[in-house]
A and B are shown apart, each in its own frame.
Chain A
Amino acid sequence: MSTLVLPIKFFGMFRKFGKQVEVEIPSGSSVLEIKSMIIQKLGAENKDLVDSSVLANTTDILPDAYIFNEVQNLSILPPVCGG
């Protein structure tokens, strides 16, 4: 099975970790599996923040069941508070 390296840009509270993180996943992984890898990279103390956040590609917010079969530019979006 091929692997994918996905860049994930940070926004809001995630900015304290830098501009982005890269995760290497098996092709066919889901959003939920990627969020688990992000928790591994950022530390278990950030689990609640990651769990309450969503992944988005350049045009859409993605459901947890979304499957990745190719490289996409992603963002992780923490809880929002605009206005």
Chain B
Amino acid sequence: MNNIKTIVSKNSLDVAEAIDYVSSPSHGAIDTFIGTVRNNHQGKEVTGITYDAHKILAEKAFQEICVEAQGFWPETQYYVAHYQGELEVGGMSIIIAVGSPHRAESFDACRYVIEEIKKRSPIWKKEHYIDEKSDWLPGHSLIAEAEASQSCCGHCGGEASGS
């Protein structure tokens, strides 16, 4: 039990579940971040966003990021859920809740988790516009993650090799 729960789901996200998960008698603070679909982007009127995700690797990335955050801010507890599918304007795409003994570490850890998720989690957005056109948004390459991967090269017969 590492006090981290991560979910990529096609079901609506649940703020109460997030807060409940990170609540503890020893915690004096819970910080939450909720990402929602905005009705505009770079001058275009947005009607919705489709979120595509590699569920297994996204949940794994969330776990790794939260474990890192626990290293920086001990005694913190994490709930991270990301929606997969299409949302209209105002829909909740992500909930991050961090519980901690004091407020400073929950603010800092919550910010760390969302910023790292944006750079490192295999999730993609397709924006839908008022003129019925759609665009996949550009993002951060995962090449640095690949080179830092724990996967063996495949030559040496390690666990993750292709032989």
Contact = CB atoms under 8 A, between A and B. Distances in A.
Interface stretch (B11-19, B20-28, B69-77, B115-123): B115-123
Given A60-B149, A69-B163, A82 B117 contact: yes
Interface residues on A, range: 20 to 34
Interface residues of B, number: 45
Nearest to A83: B118
A82 B124 CA distance: 6
Contact of A60 (B58, B82, B160): B160
10 contacts: A11-B54, A12-B136, A15-B52, A60-B150, A60-B151, A66-B153, A67-B153, A75-B54, A75-B57, A82-B94
Interface of B: 35, 51-54, 56-58, 60, 82, 93-94, 114, 117-126, 136-143, 145-147, 149-155, 160-163
